[in-house]
Structure 1
Amino acid sequence: MSVRYYIRSKALPAKELHDATRSHWLIESIHWQLDVGLKEDACRIRVDDRAEVFARIRQMFLNLLKQEKSFKAGIQRKRIMCAMDQEYLATVLRSLS
């Protein structure tokens, strides 16, 4: 068991504090998957609304890769497999329809 300390501006019941903490780490986990699996932090798109559009595309692609179960691997390996194998890419994209 470990102890964690948090700074907050108002007193919360234990249940709400627990839910807020879990929600925060869920979001952090998603951002970690986007960065490690899809290299989101390396993206240098800054013009107009393109950064937001590409972020949405990456989120959608991450969801597609998570749903695809025929190839047992992590997100990064599945992404590379999509780049190398058009049949596998078609399998991943088929779940859109």
Structure 2
Amino acid sequence: MKFGILSLPANAERLAKEVRNHWSIENKLHWQLDVNFREDLSRVRKGNGAENLSIVRRATLNLLQKDKTSKVSLHKRRFIASCRKDYLLDLVGAKEILHA
């Protein structure tokens, strides 16, 4: 069980709504990470490896979601980025730096 301290007035309905909204966002993010990166299957346990990979996955997910030039799924965008260097450089914003 988790506890929290809030500065909201005591309103059970509003509090329940805010908690549901928070977990809805968290669940959607987790679902994306699990479906596109198979995060639940990761067996990295030593040192900071699990936390480091989680940060990289979330950053990658953000970059892939931000790209509006492609109409394909996130899974396919990820695959395309692994095959096409120009697309990968576009995603990370490095293409302009290399051609400057």
TM-score, length basis structure 1: 0.79
Q: 2:62 & 2:52 partners in 1: Cα distance?
A: 16
Question: Is the CA contact 1:45–1:51 (under 8 Å) kept in the aligned structure 2?
Answer: yes
What per-residue deviation string (whole Å, max 9, x for no partner) do you get for residues 64-90 of structure 1?
Answer: 111111111222111111112111111
Residue 35 of structure 2 corresponds to 36
- Secondary structure in 2 matching 1:57: helix
Runs of 4+ aligned residues of structure 1 deviating over 6 Å after TM superposition are: none
Aligned-partner Cα distance in 1 for 2:30–2:38: 10
| Count of matched residue pairs | 87
Give RMSD over aligned pairs: 2.0
Q: What is the SS of the residue equivalent to 2:86?
A: helix
5+ residue gaps, structure 2, are 1-9
Mark the runs of 5 or more structure 1 residues left unpaired by the alignment.
Answer: 1-10
Could you say which residue in structure 2 is the equivalent of 1:85?
84
Q: Percent identity?
A: 27
Letter in 1 for 2:44: I
Whole-angstrom CA distance in 1 between matches of 2:60 and 2:43:
19
TM-superposition CA deviations, 1:17-45 (whole Å, max 9, x none) = 11111111110110000010122122221
